[in-house]
Amino acid sequence: MTCSAAVVSVELRLERMTMVEPKIVHVGPYPLRLPEFWYEEGDVREKPGFFGYNAVALVGVSFDFYVIVGRGRDEEERRRHVDGFVKGKAPLRHLRESTSWQGVAFEQHRLEECTKLAPGAVYELFLCEAHGDLLLFGFGFVAPLEQEESLRMLFTTMVSGAIVERGYSLHGEGAGSGGDGGASRAAAKPKRSWWPLFRWR
């Protein structure tokens, strides 16, 4: 399939999207809700203190999500993972910035011209602390990509939603005085997809 045909195919599937219950992949204690157009469900890996998820989100776009349990405030651990990604991708340019989405602060790294991937390859890596854990997610593609901004928003929303749902599981039961807090929080938990219908820009 050519790049232009893939874009048309994705746009057509987006036009048919409805608010249906999405597929949920559990990456350790974090539930990722996958949109209807997700290309390949992918695999979850697990070992003591670590959970990893790798998948193909769209044709030509990879997605990764990693959980390092209990290391959210460990700056040395964070630097070690960033250095590992940089070494593994071998970018010609490495851009850094801080950003936030839905109340979650992210450290963002954009690795451009990744020589160990493909000509023009870009990998964006995001790190944050959540519930004491260190979370990393990233996506790779070959630039230019028309849907880049929409995909960045989608992936960030997916991870932010997983953090919120992890919070429900940690604090939803028995929270508040009289034991009523857990019931009210559970009742407020969204039943359907909580992200907006994304349209490519």
Confidence of residue 13 (pLDDT cuts 50, 70, 90): low
* Most confident option among 14-18, 34-38, 186-190: 34-38
Tell me how far apart the alpha carbons of residues 30 and 160 are, in angstroms, rounded to a whole number.
Answer: 10
Give the model's pLDDT for residue 20. 55
Q: How confident is the model at residue 183 (pLDDT cuts 50, 70, 90)?
A: very low
pLDDT at residue 1, as a whole number: 56
Maximum mean pLDDT: which of 19-23, 69-73, 180-184, 187-191: 69-73
Residue 21 predicted with pLDDT over 90: no
Residue 64 has a pLDDT of 98
